[in-house]
Structure 1
Amino acid sequence: MSLEHHEAFNRMYLKDKMTLGFLTPFEAKSKTKALPKMENTVELARKIEDFGFAAIWLRDVTMQDLESDDHGQLYDLWIYLTYLAARTNHIALGTSSVVLPLRHPVRVAKEATSIDRLFPNRLIMGVASGDRKKDFEALGVEREGRGDVFKQNFDFLDRLLKEDHPTIHSELGVIDGNGMKLMPTPFTTIPTMVTGSSQQSLEWIAEHGDGWIQYPRSIQEQASIIKDYRELADKKQPGVFKPFTQTLYIDLSENPDESPTEIPLGYRLGRNHLLELLYKFQEIGVNHLVFVPYFAKRSMEEMVQEIAEEILPQFPTHNL
């Protein structure tokens, strides 16, 4: 199976073009380290879909770290993704990202294929090695060895999702291709995107992922990374399009002409400068950009509407 029939993938990703999405929770981080309220996530998700954005993304976070104000989202990744999928119609739902060292690959495969069958062609599955210390401590997993565990779990998961009758002998478990089979099977190929380095080499990422999700960098640095990634991906699998996705933290000013000032992993800026920045990201090869509102001062409703009306028409979700 290939990704040519996956509707969400093809609505989000096209060579030399870029689409836009948002990361939950749709609210700024609390200065008091309070958990996200997530009171209007469904309403905002519907607005984001109705406006025509390409995707909504959800993080995989287990424990609240009382020493940090970054709690990700409140609910379990798969449960809340299902909740949002049932209350929206067609927008892509991405995981950014399933922490593979903390989840058994057979369970991940079961969860992903269930989503894919219940809500066909909507799941974009980012996977990662994870970095939140408290999650590893709580689950009794050695964090220092997460790169090796990630690769082992990724290979197991990849075979379960992409082979009809895999026979797998692993310390994680045994799959007898003659006597058992994962159920349900995927509706179609589920795009699996490596996030960050996941403790792997760029060569490995370029060969094994269906795409790559990265963190924000300067235009120059990101351009260099994308160039190296494209060259390696084409060398490993000539002619196969492997899209590049990145996040961008934004605090959208009410003044459309406000010049950019740096915030963690992004900028505070007006929409006219944001538009210029997005054109630059598209030019260097970013295929999908995810807005992160954790440092925003304005209401999410206002920001979504302004971006939808003034910026989204330049980066539309692709028609099938």
Structure 2
Amino acid sequence: MENPNRGYERLFGDDALTVGTTFPLTDAREERPDVERELALAEHLEALGFDALWARDVPTYWPTFGDAGQTFDPWTWLSRVAARTDDVALGTASVVLTLRHPLHVAKSAASLDRLSDGRVVLGVASGDRPPEYAAFGVAEDERGAAFREHVRVLRAAWRESYPEVETRWGTLDGTLDVVPKPTAGDLPLLVTGNSRQSREWIAEHGDGWLFYHLPEDTLRSYLDDWRERTAKPFVTTCTVDLAADPDAAPEHVNQGFRAGAAWFRDYFGRLDDAGVDHVIVGVRGDDRERAHERFVAEVLAEV
């Protein structure tokens, strides 16, 4: 972005690897995490030095998928988080564009950006839960084209006054404006996964690429390909289950590892060396506050 917002600068303003964490912060097994505990922990994690707090967009609960995210709508939830924090970036990972009207997204995201003084970074996606397309009346096989159109509307709504744009969602004929505008005149969009797009399109139209946890060799091949196309940021994810033994060897868990602090220090160092710009971690532990504190003290402080 030519004039990045505060959140984008926090995450990508220099060459150092930055780290954020994802809601729910207290207990991922709970469908409705305790609000006050979550907010208090969000404040605590900002004080510990985490660079971003990420909220997921899960419009409906599908038991087969086994995940309700943080349950609360991301715009509503991140507004509460914005009021309790000062500088940490506020991210969506990721807004399912195909299931939302782009004008609603444009207004909600810009409103949150204004209320947080420019800290919003938007991960955006085309969706991955098949029953939701029917529930929202969206043709699943057209979600790639719908995603591209949605991005076009967002850019017009944020960058232009009284924009003129026509898509499947409707027509803006130049007589209506969408307000407020974002603090930096635009909002950063991190395309999540492939979102049914080519890498060329993602490199041209996104402000970065957010990809799920990958084996290291695969991750390096993705990074090499990305760097051949653009210098824009690359973001990945990792579940962190910190073993009591600091020298414990790694074991694979869903989207990450259980390992000792020594191995995680080496791992995050390798991510940094490979050119990853930001990692979204999901820190496991019966006591989430203590687990995050250990992760910062035993891993991040040494990387």
Per the normalisation by structure 1, the TM-score is: 0.89
**8 Å Cα contact 2:107-2:178 kept in structure 1:** yes
Partner residue of 1:37? 33
Aligned partner of 2:9 in structure 1 is 10
| 2:179 is equivalent to residue 180 of structure 1 | no
CA displacement at 1:310 relative to structure 2: 2.6
Distance 2:19 2:197 in 1: 27
Alignment partner, residue 273 of structure 2? 283
- Write out the 4+ residue segments of structure 1 that deviate beyond 4 Å after TM superposition: none
Shift of 1:36: 4.1
How do 1:210-289 residues align onto structure 2 when only pairs under 5 Å count?
210-233=207-230, 241-289=231-279
Q: Which residue of 1 aligns with 2:25?
A: 26
Choose the corresponding residue for 2:199, options 202, 211, 221. 202
Amino acid at match of 1:60: D
Once residues 258 and 27 of structure 1 are traced to their aligned partners in structure 2, the CA distance between those partners, rounded to angstroms, is 24
Offset, 1:35: 1.8
Question: Which whole-Å CA distance do the structure 2 matches of 1:298 and 1:272 have between them?
Answer: 21
Alpha-carbon separation, structure 2, partners of 1:266 and 1:59: 18
> For 1:127 and 1:52, how far apart are their aligned partners in 2?
25
- Distance in 2 (CA, whole Å) between partners of 1:16 and 1:117 is 27
Contact 2:163 2:176 in 1 (8 A): no
Q: Output the amino acid matched with 1:288.
A: H
Q: Is the 8 A contact 2:33 2:70 kept in 1?
A: no
**Equivalent residue number for residue 101 of structure 2:** 104
Structure 2: distance between partners of 1:249 and 1:20:
12
Please report how far the alpha carbon of residue 161 of structure 1 lies from its aligned counterpart in structure 2 after TM superposition: 1.7
Report % sequence identity.
36
User: Residue 289 of structure 1 aligns to a residue in which SS?
Assistant: strand
- For residues 131 and 164 of structure 1, do their structure 2 counterparts lie closer, same or farther at Cα, with a shift above 3 Å needed? same
SS of the aligned residue for 2:91 comes to strand
The match for 1:309 among 254, 279, 297 is 297
Pick which of 143-152 and 157-166 moved more. 157-166
Aligned partner of residue 69 in structure 2, secondary structure: coil
Give runs of aligned pairs for residues 110-189 of structure 1, distance below 5 A.
110-177=107-174, 179-188=175-184, 189=186
For 1:318, the equivalent position in structure 2 comes to none
How far did 1:216 drift?
A: 0.8
Question: Does the 8 A contact of 1:90 with 1:122 survive in 2?
Answer: yes
Residue identity opposite 1:271 in structure 2: A
| Secondary structure of 1:206 counterpart | helix
Cα–Cα, structure 1 residues 211 and 95, in superposed 2: closer, same or farther, change >3 Å?
same
Aligned residue in 1 for 2:92: 95
Query: 5+ residue gaps in structure 1?
Result: 234-240, 316-320
d(CA) in 2 for partners of 1:134 and 1:171? Answer: 21
**What is the CA–CA distance in structure 2 between the aligned matches of 1:35 and 1:166, rounded to whole Å?**
40
- SS at structure 1 position matched to 2:71: coil
Alpha-carbon shift at residue 23 of structure 1 (Å) = 0.7
Corresponding residue number in structure 1 for 2:75: 78
Residue type of the partner of 1:287?
A: D
Alpha-carbon displacement from aligned partner over 1:59-116 (angstroms, at most 9, x marks no partner): 1001111223222121111111111111212211000111000001111000011111
CA 1:226–1:164 in structure 2 vs 1: closer, same or farther (change >3 Å)? Answer: farther
CA distance in 2, matches of 1:268, 1:100: 33
Residue identity in the other structure for 1:274: F
How many residue pairs end up in the alignment? 301
Tell me the amino acid that sits aligned with residue 8 of structure 1: G
Give the AA of the match of 1:186.
P
Shift, 1:190, TM fit: 1.4
Query: Is there any run of 5+ residues in structure 2 with no aligned partner, and where?
Result: none
Deviation of 1:229 after TM superposition, in Å, equals 1.0
CA deviation vs aligned residue, 1:202-243 (integer Å, no higher than 9, x gap): 11101110011111111111111011112112xxxxxxx411
Q: State how 1:45-84 maps to structure 2 within 5 Å.
A: 45-84=42-81
Note if contact 2:26-2:289 (Cα within 8 Å) is conserved in structure 1.
no
The answer (yes or no) to whether the contact 1:61–1:135 under 8 Å persists in 2 is: no
| Distance in 2 between residues matched to 1:314 and 1:145, nearest whole Å | 46
**Cross-structure match for 1:236:** none
